[in-house]
Amino acid sequence: MIATLAEKIKRGNERLSAEELTTLYLHCPIPQLSAFATLRREQLNGKNVFFNRNFHIEPTNICMNDCVFCSYRRHEGEAGSWDYSIDDITAQCRARAGEGITEVHIVGGVHPHRDVHYYARLLQAVKQALPAGVHIKAFTAIELDYMITKAGVSLSEGLALLQQAGLDAIPGGGAEIFDATVRRRLCPKKGDAGVWLRVHEAAHEASIRTNATMLFGHIETLAHRIDHLLQLRELQDRTHGFDAFIPLKYKAANNALGDIGETPVLDVLRTIAVSRLALDNIPHIKAYWPMLGKDVMQIALLFGADDIDGTINDSTKIYSMAGAGEQHPTLGVDELCRLVRAAGFSPAERNTFYEIRKRY
């Protein structure tokens, strides 16, 4: 069976089924799985490992949802909550205006009182506070669904308002695991898979590029992961709007699910490799180093990942609050390039749309 799959993967133009992906995950020896994923990543991306110069803005951690995996969310007024004003946020942007940043990534909690008109004002203010040409990648599908519904406008009208205000791309968060039963236990108040997929489809129709994620290593099964990947592949066949897929390993500190612990590193690497092989129509697989740590990020490059996100400059709290090794995630371009070269690849600085700005 593995030998037949090897031939199929080498031919490079044939789709792998759910059964074949399951076999690869369960039965393929790890060196061979690494070789298969590397073959596919080289067919798509050569030796390039992409990164950008970015930072995150997290406007608030006040959130209406109650996801059991989340270490970050607080109630309004609760100790440890934050809620930055637009002025606070523009001050954060001005403080970074000289850093050569090309992308700002904005995500936060689903704040009960904020609608799409408020967030359009926020995006306008961020664009004005940063040098011309910096792209904004902002808001998970779940935040978008809430803020647009709250304003009483349609999904396409809401996205158009944000686009006019400066939205360039949408990140992949909020997807978690699409299966309805798991989702009910994991994030009972959050929009379901239909909501997530509909928002991304509407964004693609409006020519907004987006990413996709999968939160794994908690209460889901392998079948749920494969189903999640194939639902993404199916949408991408229709819209071609996804640039990157980011497999996010569940981190167990400071959240209600913590007793289950964290999944072993070989599960993470198998999942990244199977994602690369399953998502034959999504160009990039991101190894998100603030979550994986720098060492596992380097190894992930040998399992099909070709993107490592960016410099980040100590600007995100989602993973450090959940116990990630990187408590103050910052990676200078020189260090980032050294890590990529040491793993045998060529660092390529990209912009939000994967246009190469510089090779090192």
Residues that bind ligand V47 (CB under 6 A): 69-71, 140, 171-174, 176, 211, 213, 215, 246, 248, 250-251, 255, 288, 309, 318, 322
From the CB of 177, what's the least distance to ligand V47, in Å? Answer: 9
Judged by beta carbon, residue 134 or residue 215, the one nearer ligand V47 is: 215
Give the residue closest to ligand V47 by C-beta. 173
Judged by beta carbon, residue 260 or residue 342, the one nearer ligand V47 is: 260
Distance CA 186, CA 180 (A): 10
Judged by beta carbon, residue 131 or residue 323, the one nearer ligand V47 is: 323
Cα separations (Å) of 24 from 3, 13, 224, 283, 314? 11, 17, 15, 20, 37
Amino acid at site 77: G
From the CB of 114, what's the least distance to ligand V47, in Å? Answer: 18
Q: Where are the beta strands (DSSP E) in 165-291?
A: 167-170, 209-216, 242-249, 284-285
Cα separations (Å) of 122 from 174, 242, 327? 21, 25, 27
From the CB of 86, what's the least distance to ligand V47, in Å? Answer: 22
Cα separations (Å) of 64 from 146, 259, 293, 340? 10, 24, 30, 39
From the CB of 71, what's the least distance to ligand V47, in Å? Answer: 5
Q: Strands 307-312, 346-350: parallel, antiparallel or unpaired by DSSP?
A: unpaired
Judged by beta carbon, residue 174 or residue 347, the one nearer ligand V47 is: 174
Judged by beta carbon, residue 63 or residue 151, the one nearer ligand V47 is: 63
From the CB of 98, what's the least distance to ligand V47, in Å? Answer: 24
